[in-house]
Amino acid sequence: MSEGVRRIVTGHDANGVAVVVKDAPAHNIVTSPNRPGVVIYNLWATDSMPCRIDGPEETTDRKLGLEPKPNGTNFRIIDFPPESTYIDKVSGEMASQAFSETMGASHALDSSGKQRHPFMHATKTVDYAICLEGEIVCILDDSEITMKAGDVMVQRGTNHAWSNQSDSNCKMAFVLMDGARG
């Protein structure tokens, strides 16, 4: 399992010199007993576009939802352990609780009754997904695609689930950007 995530934030001092303003382990860490072993490291959030370069030096001292605020972004890393140890025990109720408790997003879950995975969901976002370590399967409505370390995906508001079907941890980075349909 992961040893955490080091988060470095840069900025400028009073004279305009580029400096490191924070260098510490990520502190906004989210887990849920309804998805055992999954660890979410919320690293940064913006609340508007364009982003303020001279904005706050800390943006994760609050609960961050699955989706960013309107016109905002969320940056996070998620550790996905092998799901073979728990996935057969996950009910729809547990999946709903995992999304509502950890990210206030039970509305994003697929409730069609046709979902291919208990954690199928869709957000009104464009997401950049980067596989940093291990491998993971992105399950879509009609197909699956395996991502390995170094692979990237642009997720455009589609119904999907992340499933670690391997025997080792997978570490993924995600940048979620508020989106619009139509």
- What is the pTM (predicted TM-score) of this model? 0.92
DSSP string, 89-155: G--HHHHHHHHHHHHS-GGGB--SS--SSTT-B--SEEEEEEEEESEEEEEESS-EEEEETT-EEEE
Share of the chain above pLDDT 70, in %: 94
pLDDT digits (tens, 9 = 90+) for 33-77: 888 899 999 999 999 999 988 888 899 999 888 889 999 999 999
Lowest average pLDDT, out of 119-123, 135-139, 169-173, goes to 119-123
Question: Which domains does the chain show, CATH number per domain?
Answer: 26-178 (2.60.120.10)
pLDDT category at 142 given cuts 50, 70, 90 is very high
What local confidence, expressed as pLDDT, does residue 93 receive? Answer: 80
Average pLDDT over residues 160-178: 97
Count CB neighbours of 20 within 10 A.
9
Higher pLDDT, 166 or 85: 166
For residues 101-139, one letter each, b for 16 or more C-beta atoms within 10 angstroms of the residue's C-beta and e for the rest, the string is bbbebbebbbeeeebbbbbbbebebbbebbbeebbbbbb
Higher pLDDT, 87 or 163: 163
pLDDT digits (tens, 9 = 90+) for 73-116: 999 999 999 999 888 888 878 887 777 777 776 676 666 778 88
